Structure 1
């Protein structure tokens, strides 16, 4: 809960020091440096910001790549301030967007930009929501997606246009709890005296949650046409979170083709979430889900011949055996938003 007399500081009118530090055939990177001057902490009564300022140096690296339609950003900050939240704000220019779309595990949530008023609610409706890999705002014609690595809180506000906000840090020095109610996050001030009269509040210090010191954050800006699905922007968000890992070997003989996939799942709307060895047997587990709201006809193809294939549950227990095509391909219809797990057993000589 913010203090009663709060202050919001931005870098909108701050001049940053910028320079090009990399320009090659694979990547170009700009470095920007700015010094954030922030209040040291909350006041002793926690009703306003302390007047003493502290300096928090911030460095941003912005990188682009050929034929990859996104801008990858890496932010490093030396945090010396306490009791504050650091966010990145993205004006979208979208005046007709009504919803935000947030990636979750095995699903993409659709939420209205205007939160409920919460009339008669004990706790105020929160304007912040969770996400996993990305959040997207679009009007069906164009849109803006922001992907992230481990930054689960976002907010979208309407200020003429839709404004997307990504939380980098939430530095909390204490938690507030009323024993008969539980944790209080956004309690209306008019209710607080009535509840305190029955159950005095307990303030729990959380000094380590103030996140002092150096911290690094990574996120990516992905502008697109259409919506998050039709544009394929979700694939860029996955590519940002699960980048290609290269491994160089010595020169040696082999029988693999110049280009191949050991396991390939298609189409792209079937999102692979796991490729692993089975826990209790010599088999390969491939798990994916249908990110769309329609049934998808797909295939899973192995590079090597298979001895057998089974539909399995999340515990890797076989449900039923499936027929193979050409000894290497499993055809499957995946219902809307359904999770599917395949268990594949390779032939001994492959």
Structure 2
């Protein structure tokens, strides 16, 4: 590829440098998406590397996940001079003709372009190599320069293609995207709380664990192997955060309804609930929620609404 772009001559430089890209295509058993992982070794400046995905779905509209929402955008009306159609997203896109759909999950690739006049071609930006924030060099050129933005290094990327019926909502793409983004983590330990292993007994046997015995420091705390801390029911309800409240006295669950319609939300905990409130983002209570035992009774979350639930 050309080594750089000559802005004075308005052409690519004649010098060539080698750029490399490696792709690994994976289809795992019991996983509904096709995964693409890659590494791009970028040695060229002033260019953009994109991956074109031909969905084969003739649709002029695309759904894009954004912070606390899903928006629908058209690929018509772009101006080559002022607007080439580049748009942001938060990790998930969906092309659908109403009957079938293809969702694209992308990790750390926030720019896409739904090409105008194409048969469902989406261009994902893998590398944007520029030495300036703005190319208008006549206006304070030094102020806009950022040489490190040329990204002259190896760059990892990961994405997946998820075919399904219907659109992003009908295909349950949001839940699948969360599984792609945050896979389940597994950890094992001894069933006896007094036994733990750590370190290594000798350099010659570094792979052999060493076991220790001690009395539990917090015997009243126990994690049940056959239970889950929280179970949420609600179509198109996306969990944003689960944490301790800022004052440390309660738990806070924040989620939002990414769907186009109002949805019922209910929660079940692994232990009885003492209190539960619908709260503001600043975690001050708005009103109490109805609960019984370890279950918060269903309540309505409006389309696009962000809800914060405080409980103990």
TM bin, normalised by shorter chain, reads 0.7 to 0.9
- Cα shift readout 1:278-310 (whole Å, capped 9, x = no counterpart): 111321101111111211112011111111011
Which residues of 2 match residues 165-244 of structure 1 at below 5 A?
Answer: 165-176=123-134, 200-203=138-141, 204-244=144-184
2:71 equivalent to 1:109: yes
Q: Which secondary structure state, in structure 2, belongs to the residue aligned with residue 54 of structure 1? A: coil
Q: Partner of 1:269 in structure 2?
A: 236
Q: TM-score scaled to structure 2, two decimals? A: 0.84
2:56 equivalent to 1:93: yes
Q: 1:339 to 1:250 in 2, by over 3 A?
A: same
The offset of 1:258, in angstroms, is 5.1
- Cα shift readout 1:134-162 (whole Å, capped 9, x = no counterpart): 11111111122111111110000134412
Structure-2 separation of matches of 1:208 and 1:255: 49
Q: 1:310 to 1:160 in 2, by over 3 A?
A: closer
Q: 1:257 to 1:176 in 2, by over 3 A?
A: closer
Q: Which secondary structure state, in structure 2, belongs to the residue aligned with residue 243 of structure 1? A: coil
- Cα shift readout 1:90-109 (whole Å, capped 9, x = no counterpart): 111122x1201110011111
| 1:292 counterpart (259, 263, 284) | 259
Structure-2 separation of matches of 1:58 and 1:263: 42
2:32 equivalent to 1:69: yes
Which residues of 2 match residues 127-166 of structure 1 at below 5 A?
Answer: 127-166=85-124
The offset of 1:252, in angstroms, is 2.5
Structure-2 separation of matches of 1:237 and 1:92: 18
2:247 equivalent to 1:307: no
Q: 1:264 to 1:135 in 2, by over 3 A?
A: same
How many residues were matched structurally? 283
8 Å CA contact 1:176, 1:201 repeated in 2: no
The offset of 1:125, in angstroms, is 2.7
Structure-1 separation of matches of 2:192 and 2:296: 29
Unaligned runs of 5+ in 2: 194-220
Structure-2 separation of matches of 1:44 and 1:115: 28
Q: Which secondary structure state, in structure 1, belongs to the residue aligned with residue 175 of structure 2? A: helix
Q: Partner of 1:10 in structure 2?
A: none
Unaligned runs of 5+ in 1: 1-37, 179-183, 185-199, 346-350
8 Å CA contact 1:283, 1:343 repeated in 2: yes
Structure-1 separation of matches of 2:172 and 2:64: 15
Structure-2 separation of matches of 1:224 and 1:315: 38
CA root-mean-square deviation: 2.1
The offset of 1:262, in angstroms, is 0.4
Q: Which secondary structure state, in structure 2, belongs to the residue aligned with residue 174 of structure 1? A: coil
8 Å CA contact 2:270, 2:294 repeated in 1: no
8 Å CA contact 1:173, 1:205 repeated in 2: yes
Q: Partner of 1:190 in structure 2?
A: none
Structure-1 separation of matches of 2:234 and 2:176: 15
Structure-1 separation of matches of 2:161 and 2:38: 13
Structure-2 separation of matches of 1:332 and 1:268: 13
- Cα shift readout 1:66-113 (whole Å, capped 9, x = no counterpart): 221101221112111111101100111122x12011100111110012
Would you tell me which structure has more strand in proportion to its own residues? 1
Structure-1 separation of matches of 2:229 and 2:282: 23
Structure-2 separation of matches of 1:283 and 1:274: 14
| 2:16 counterpart (29, 45, 53) | 53
Structure-1 separation of matches of 2:303 and 2:7: 53
The offset of 1:227, in angstroms, is 1.0
The offset of 1:44, in angstroms, is 5.3
